[in-house]
Structure 1
Amino acid sequence: MVQLMDSEVFMAFTTYAAIVVLKMLLLAPMTSYYRITRGAFSNEEDVAGKSAEEKKKLLRTHPDVERVRRCHQNDLENVVPFVMIGLLYALTGPELSAALLHFRLFAASRIFHTIAYTCALPQPSRGLSFLLGLLVTLSMAYRVLSAALFL
């Protein structure tokens, strides 16, 4: 375990994994902020104590809220696999420069994806950032399979 903690690749992985996980976690309070400021709630208990008329107005969807919520869902579908594959990738002993390239590209793609999603940038900006992150994860998965199965 001590040897792993001394690995520059592993330390780089933990740094970039922490960055993308923190970014993903920040989307939850961002969603709450948008719900409150846009007056758009999805559950009855969120508007408890309000009059029936106020509940009708507040129990609705709003494009800004939905955009952030979908971005968060997309992060769950992409960041979690990156963390799992990235850990295995770091254990294969890749060159530091190659590992940094993978980790930095993934982190940059997810940060840009969040900006593109929340700011409603025109396509293909969001699609390209998603694709870049996916390709990085697939590249690391290939390395893991190559090392483990001698492909």
Structure 2
Amino acid sequence: MVSLSDPAVQSYILYSAILALKVLVMAVLTGRVRYAKKVFANEEDAKASKGKVKLDDPDVERVRRAHLNDLENIPAFWILGALYLTTSPEAAWATLLFRVYAVSRIIHTIVYAVKPLPQPARGIAFMIPMIVKWYMGIAIVSNYISAL
């Protein structure tokens, strides 16, 4: 079964924590862009910072979309990664999958919200983690369907 002393489990915990911190950083990044541009979603924030209420600033919305993309994709990694560990994967392979996923999500944020690059940079940075999730999902289903 799954044990905290298993290197694959330790790797999952490490990369899950990195991704959780990344999600938290996105909120800070959104606030940083709002304050730099003096555009806010709420009247009280705009008044306190001598800014204005604006809900459609392209720079703020780009960071918000990147944050939303994380919120749509990273929880699926947490679920699939945890379930994948129950299939007793080889530790080195599981670590590689978790690492590639985390690094690709970080690159996705950089090319989407920090230093936007033309396509296909964002598309590649999005698809690599998607492939990792699909791989883990198929491995989980294959492992447990054969047990039925």
Matched-pair contact (CA < 8 Å) for 1:24–1:76: yes
1:138 to 134, 137, 147: 134
Distance in 1 (alpha carbons) for counterparts of 2:125 and 2:48: 42
Deviation of 1:96 (Å): 1.1
Q: CA RMSD in A?
A: 1.9
Matched-pair contact (CA < 8 Å) for 2:38–2:46: no
| Structure 1 position 81 matched with structure 2 position 76 | yes
- Identity over the aligned pairs, expressed in percent? 40
For 2:58, the equivalent position in structure 1 comes to 63
Structure with greater helix share of residues: 1
Deviates more, 1:39-48 or 1:3-12: 39-48
Instruction: Give CA-to-partner distance per residue, 1:95-149, whole Å, 9 cap, x none.
Output: 0121012111101110100000111111110011111110100100111111111
Gaps of 5+ in 1: none
TM-score normalised to the size of structure 2? 0.90
Q: Which amino acid aligns with 1:147?
A: N
Deviation of 1:45 (Å): 3.3
Matched-pair contact (CA < 8 Å) for 2:4–2:10: yes
| Structure 1 position 5 matched with structure 2 position 1 | no
Distance in 1 (alpha carbons) for counterparts of 2:20 and 2:134: 19
Q: 3-state DSSP class of the match of 2:39?
A: coil
TM-score normalised to the size of structure 1? 0.88
